[in-house]
Structures are given as structure tokens and as C-alpha cells.
Amino acid sequence: MHILGIDVGGSGIKGAPVDTETGQLLAERVRIKTPENAEPQPVAEVVNQVAQAFEWTGPMGIGFPAPLKSGIVMMAANISEAWVGLNAEQLFMDATGCPCRVGNDADVAGLAEMAFGAGKGRNGTVIMITLGTGIGTAIFHDGNLLPNTEFGHLEIKGEDAEFRASDAAREREDLSWGKYAKRLNTYLLAMERLFWPDLFIIGGGISKKHEKFLPLLSLQTETVPAQLKNGAGIVGAALFGRAEPGPAKKKPARKVLTS
């Protein structure tokens, strides 16, 4: 099945058509900068631009940086507060004219890694950690996803973990790889003590540079880079989009006020 996967990130919105049976991208991905402040209507317009780049008219799956229930955004951390309570599925369907299913970005990246990447065939507890503008988490047990976990907001030394250990924090504070690894290690140790996982998968854009920091970690848990690297979000969004959108798509989208 061919589905357009779109990954809505804090810095960029990227997408490509995906063969959901193989996990292969069917065209070179398109990436457009995320609109400033990530307000709903401008983000929906960029998602439509990505779809139009492929002249897409079929089903779409979208990874989105927030917890969602039946397509409704429950919380906003690295996006505008205007998203909270908004039916994101309906908004994107209205913008693109295509069937859309929207899932948490870390969850869908985890689905891709479990199907085609570092988590394939792994049982027990597997935790996908995405390091980017924030920290995303996806937790699987024997291949089953516990959706909408937000352990990037776990408190570490009085601050959200993502404020200290995201890739954005590394860049913002110009941390050396050694100093960054210590911060990341502190966070992962906290996750280890909470879940005693069998595997950590480290994803996000920073996974392309995994050799600079993963060898510096000291954990009991096996820790590996995401095999799909930053493409996991696109592939996973497409996998998520295979299911039919839920009843939420039939509800009218809340009006978005624009100046």
C-alpha cells in the first residue's frame, strides 16, 4: 500500500510517499521549513504544499509533536498553544482534501523502527527516544505501543529533560559531545530506573552522528541508533496512516482565528 507520510517537526515539515509493505520511500523527500510559532493554519498550509509536491490524492499519515486522542491535540510544548483542543485530523483533511490520520511523532517513528529498523523482531520493553527540538518517547512491550508517553518532560535537576538533553539544547548551549553525552546519560539512567528496558533506540536528526556520543554512554540497557535515522518519522507516519481515520474526522474542526 502506498501512503504519503509526513513528519511535522519543530524546524521542518517533511514528507514522501511510502510503500508500507517494505518501508521504502517511493520518491525523494520534500522538506519545507516549519512556520514561525507553528500556528495551526500555517502548518496545515505547509502540509498541503508537501502533498501538492507529489500531486497526492490518496491517504496520508502525519506524525505530529504532541499527544493526540482521536485526532484531538491534548497538549502543546514545542508548538503553538492554539493547537490544544483542536481536531488536527480534520484540519489537515480540510487543507489537503485527503484522508488523514495523525499520530504522535515519536510513536510513529517507533512504529517504523519496530517494523523495519533496530526494533524489528525485538520483544520485551523497547523505548524509542527521538532527540530534536524536544525529546520524544515511544514505549513498546512485545511489539505493542503504549501511546502518547511524554517522558521528554521528565524532571531532571529541576528542569524538563528536553530542556537539558535535546539536540536543540546541545546546539543552544554549544555543548561538546562529551558534555552532551553526560546530560543524555543522566536522562537515560532515569528512564532505565523507571522501566528497566531491554533496548533503547536513539532517533531524530542527531542519530546520524551517533558515533560521536553513543560510545560515551554508560548504561545497563543496550542502546543503538535508529536504523532509519531521520526517515523513521516519514515511514512511521505512513504506517500509522494505513488505518482508517477514527470518528473524530466527522467532527467539525474548531475555528482557527487568523489575524
Please report the pLDDT score of residue 248 as a whole number: 37
Residue showing cell 509493505 = 21
Please report the pLDDT score of residue 250 as a whole number: 39
Task: Give dist(CA 231, CA 208) in Å, integer.
Answer: 11
Q: Which of 2-6, 58-62, 168-172, 228-232 has the lowest mean pLDDT?
A: 228-232
- Residue 232: which pLDDT band, with cuts at 50, 70 and 90? very high
Q: Is residue 110 over pLDDT 60?
A: yes
Spatial CB neighbours of 205, under 8 Å, sequence gap ≥ 6: 131, 132, 167, 229, 230
Q: What is the mean pLDDT of the chain?
A: 93
Q: Would you call 256 helix, strand, or coil by DSSP? A: coil
- DSSP H helical segments within 88-244, as ranges? 88-96, 105-116, 161-165, 167-172, 177-195, 232-240
Mean pLDDT, rounded, for 147-174: 96
End-to-end CA distance of the chain: 40
- Residue 88: which pLDDT band, with cuts at 50, 70 and 90? very high
Q: Which of 11-15, 24-28, 71-75, 240-244 has the lowest mean pLDDT?
A: 240-244
Q: Is residue 149 over pLDDT 70?
A: yes
Grid cell for residue 184: 543524555
Please report the pLDDT score of residue 243 as a whole number: 76
What type of residue is 59? P
Closest Cα partner for 80 from 36, 45, 50, 49? 36
Closest Cα partner for 45 from 22, 13, 79? 13
Q: Is residue 11 over pLDDT 90?
A: no
Task: Give dist(CA 211, CA 62) in Å, integer.
Answer: 29
Please report the pLDDT score of residue 245 as a whole number: 56
Please report the pLDDT score of residue 244 as a whole number: 62
Please report the pLDDT score of residue 253 as a whole number: 44
Task: Give dist(CA 186, CA 108) in Å, integer.
Answer: 25
User: Which domains, from first to last, does the chain contain?
Assistant: 2-106+235-250 (3.30.420.40), 121-227 (3.30.420.40)
Task: Give dist(CA 202, CA 8) in Å, integer.
Answer: 18
| CA 191 from centre of chain | 18
- Residue 77: which pLDDT band, with cuts at 50, 70 and 90? confident
Task: Give dist(CA 201, CA 239) in Å, integer.
Answer: 18
Please report the pLDDT score of residue 259 as a whole number: 39
Q: Distance of CA 108 to CAs 50, 53, 73, 258, Å?
A: 18, 22, 15, 30
Q: Would you call 204 helix, strand, or coil by DSSP? A: coil
More confident residue, 245 or 243: 243
Q: Is residue 254 over pLDDT 70?
A: no
Contact 190, 220 (CB under 8 A): no
Mean pLDDT, rounded, for 112-139: 96
